[in-house]
Amino acid sequence: MLMSRSDPDMVKAMRFPSLAEAVKDAYNQGEEDERLEPMVVVDKESSPLGRFQKDDYVIFYDIRGEREIEITRSLTEEDFDSFPVVKGVTLNFVTMIEYDKNLNAKVAYPPQEMVTDTLCHVLSDNKIKFIKIVESEKAFHLTYFFNGKSKEPLPNEKRLIVPSLRVSKPEERPEMKIREVTQAIKNELRGRDTSIIIANLANVDVVGHTESEDAIIKAVEAVDTSLGEIVNETQKEGVTTIVTADHGTVEKWLYPDGTIDTGHTNSQVPFILIEPEIDIQRNIRLRDSGELADVAPTILDILGLNRPEAMTGVSLLADNPYKHPKKRFLLLILDGWGIIDEVKGNLIHKANTPSFDFLLDKFPAMRLKASGEVVGMPKGSVGNSEVGHLHIGAGRRIPSDRLRIDNAIENGTFYENPSFLWAMHGAKKNRALHLLGIVSFYSSHGSMGHLKALLKMAKAQGLDKVYVHSILGRRGEKKESGARYIDEIENFTKKLNIGKVVSVIGRHWVLDREENWDRVEKAYRCLVLGDAKKVKIQEA
């Protein structure tokens, strides 16, 4: 039997008025939200409360998916062997959306339909060979999301995925594996095996979620250097190139009050069309405005391919100067590279970017909308890599799962969801209901609004034992905001008179997507064994 690494009798529980106060104390010890060491609430005998036990019901209410797969597998697969798990702890599991079709879990909001007729589907159907080149850190975005949420490669599609560095903090190596990615792109440009190259330079987004200005500047400059090398090669090889981005990040690195904002932004992103043939370049005229969904129709115009009826985006070419279809093409996505005129807090402006500045000045360029309703998100929301890649590839607006769920809460159908009812009716029969997920005002992985709706539903269904397991992650949040959110949920459960927040952990340990099993194991042991810092709540 798998045992806890920390004997409850040997580790003295810390006493605090609330779990939120325990999180604040962790801040004082030098911890921060994203890498917060796990904490569990214990009873009078110092035994962890609300651990996952045999036949309990779990609702994992995160909405993104690719980072939620590994922890879900560890909790649901009978033959899971990536690290030791407690045998026989079978759980009745519900996920908010479909993280992976092979998971042993009910799905509250399954995919409505497969997104077909994407840019990649058109290339594949026309028997055009194309390759995707990306670091593993962003592979899911350039493969799954870019292909319309389809995991398997299409016919005529190749994938070259460079393994990302395994570092505890991205700021330790801001250059990441950009040299290897750049060389792979240049090799493909020099070869003739593939006609179309779709590539992603990941550094700005990945490093941009840190608080290290020096590291972010290095990441921006590394991307700019690679951009220059790649475009020099496309010019030599006569390859038409589009440079764009999926969303913004570090161009708005500061909140208005001067504190650091590590999240995504609602900025527009660049669109630069680099045509090596001078006669064509002179005649290129771009529209005055556009959005990410317009990129795919533009590429099809350049390639002389018919646009599917489902692709409702509009070509960004005001007049198409391409009288003869181009045979070779590169789409280069500068992940997280937003563009604004404001200088204060703009780390892209602060960095030395001669390549980007030159291209922006010399070639036809414009700005694209990349947030809110144009990428299927609620009005006023920021962009992200998932919806960004999805819309670039799909060439049309696709309503997000977040919008779908928010609408369901508003119109009341959320509270009639069959998967939620199944879990709650089952838990009512002398079992516990566990609510696991991100605790944030607004995260690409979910929101407290969804958690609160589930708690209200559990109250209406007459449940007794409801436990909340909180995941914190600062991205897009002000520093030390996690404690405030834990406090809000603790107060909400008291006011509603249902549920108890029994554990908290940083997203670094739970939401992994590159098989860092040591991290995931820490999250698993917290949820199942209570292997974490022990917090004893001093009731008023």
Residues 331 and 246 grouped into a single domain: yes
**CA 326 to chain centroid:** 34
Q: What is the CATH number of the domain that holds 139?
A: 3.40.720.10
Residues 93 and 58 in one domain: yes
Is 8 part of a structural domain of the chain? Answer: no
Residue 1 included in any domain: no
**Burial class for 534, CB neighbours closer than 10 Å (0-12, 13-18, 19+):** buried
Q: Do 382 and 243 fall into the same domain?
A: yes
Taking the C-alpha atoms of residue 402 and residue 449, their distance in angstroms, rounded to an integer, is: 11
Shared domain for 319 and 212, answered yes or no, is: yes
As a whole number of angstroms, the longest Cα–Cα distance in the chain is 80
Domain count, the chain: 2
Residue 311 is assigned to a structural domain of this protein: yes
362, 507: one domain: no
Do 340 and 447 reside in the same domain of the chain? Answer: no
Residue at a domain's end among 373, 397, 421: 397
Q: Indicate whether 103 belongs to any domain.
A: yes
Q: Per residue in 495-525, is it b (16+ CB within 10 Å) or e — as a string? A: eeebbbbbbbbbbbbbbbeeeeeebbbbbbb
Give the range of the structural domain holding residue 515, as residue numbers without chain letter: 14-110+403-537
Q: Which of these three, 397, 421, 439, is where a domain ends?
A: 397
Claim to verify: residue 132 and residue 169 sit in the same structural domain: yes
pLDDT at 10: 43
**d(Cα 264, Cα 383) in Å, to the nearest integer?**
6
Q: Say what the pTM is.
A: 0.82
Residue type, 511: L
Mean pLDDT by 10 residues, the chain (540 residues): 52 88 95 94 93 96 90 95 92 95 95 88 97 96 94 95 90 96 97 92 95 96 98 97 98 90 94 95 95 98 96 96 94 98 96 98 97 92 94 95 92 97 94 94 81 97 96 78 94 96 95 92 97 86
Residue 352, SS3? coil
**DSSP string over 118-139:** -HHHHHHHTT--EEEEEEGGGH
- For residues 498 and 465, give the distance between their C-alpha atoms in angstroms, rounded to a whole number: 8
Same domain, yes or no: 93 and 184:
no
Residue 9 covered by a domain = no
Burial 381-406 (b: 16+ CB within 10 A, else e): bbbbbbbbbbbbbbbbbbebbbbebb
User: Does 332 lie in the same domain as 433?
Assistant: no
Distance CA 259, CA 255 (A): 5
Based on the fold, state whether residues 452 and 519 are members of the same structural domain.
yes
Give the domain CATH number at 510: 3.40.1450
pLDDT given for residue 5 in this prediction: 58
Question: What three-state secondary structure class fits 151?
Answer: coil
Of the three residues 356, 380, 397, the one that is the final residue of a domain is 397
Residue 469 lies in a domain: yes
pLDDT at 7 (0 to 100): 47
149 and 247 fall within a common domain: yes
Is 5 domain-assigned? Answer: no
Which residues have CB under 8 Å from 13's CB, separation 6+? 42, 46, 534, 535, 536
Q: Given this model, what pLDDT does residue 8 score?
A: 43
Tokens for 220, please give them.
């921006």
Residue 2 lies in a domain: no
What residues are paired with 161 via a beta bridge? 134
The reply to whether 434 and 532 lie within a common domain is yes
